[in-house]
Amino acid sequence: MESQAVEWAQRLASGEAAPDEIDAASRWRKQGPAHEAAFVEAERVWREIGAARRVLHDPDIDYATALDALGRRRKAVSRRFLLGGAAAATVVATYGVANPPLGLWPSLSQLNADFRTAKGEQRNVNFAGDIAINLNTQTSLAIRPATAAADRIELITGEAAFKSSARGARTLVVLAAGGRADTDAGRFDIRYTMDGDRSPVTVTCFDGCVRVEQGGATAELRSGQRIRYTVAGMSGIAMVDPIAESNWQRGIVEFRNTPIVEVVEEINRYRPGRILLMSSILAQKQINGRFRIGEMEEVLLQLQQAVDANIRYLPGGLVLLS
Torsion sign, CA atoms 277, 280, 281, 284: positive
* Cα(61)–Cα(105) distance, integer angstroms: 29
pLDDT of residue 74: 43
Query: DSSP per residue over 50-111, as a string?
Result: HHHHHHHH-TTS-HHHHHHHHHHHHHTHHHHHHT--SHHHHHHHHHHHHS-GGG-S--HHHH
Q: Phi and psi dihedrals of 39, rounded to 5?
A: -65, -45
- pLDDT tens track, the chain, 322 positions: 666 777 777 777 766 777 788 888 888 888 887 788 778 877 777 665 555 444 444 444 443 444 444 444 444 544 444 444 444 444 444 444 444 544 544 555 555 678 999 999 999 999 888 899 999 999 999 999 999 999 999 999 999 999 998 776 789 999 999 999 999 999 999 999 875 445 789 999 999 999 999 989 999 999 999 999 998 899 999 999 999 999 999 999 999 999 999 999 999 999 988 898 888 889 899 999 999 998 999 999 888 888 888 998 887 788 889 8
User: Which class for 29: exposed (0-12), middle (13-18), buried (19 or more C-beta within 10 A)?
Assistant: middle
Secondary structure letter of residue 315 according to DSSP: G
pLDDT of residue 124: 96
Closest-CA residue to 243 (of 227, 223, 262): 223
Tell me how far apart the terminal alpha carbons of the chain are, to the nearest angstrom.
Answer: 17
Secondary structure letter of residue 157 according to DSSP: E
Please name each of the domains of the chain with its CATH number.
2-105 (no CATH), 115-245 (2.60.120.1440), 251-321 (3.55.50.30)
Neighbours of 79 (CB within 10 A): 9
Task: Return the exposure string of 156-191: e unless at least 16 CB atoms fall within 10 Å of the residue's CB, then b.
Answer: bbbbbbbbbeebeebbbbbbbbebbbbbbebbbbbb
Q: H-type helices in 76-215, by residue range?
A: 77-82, 87-98, 108-111
Whole-structure pTM value: 0.68
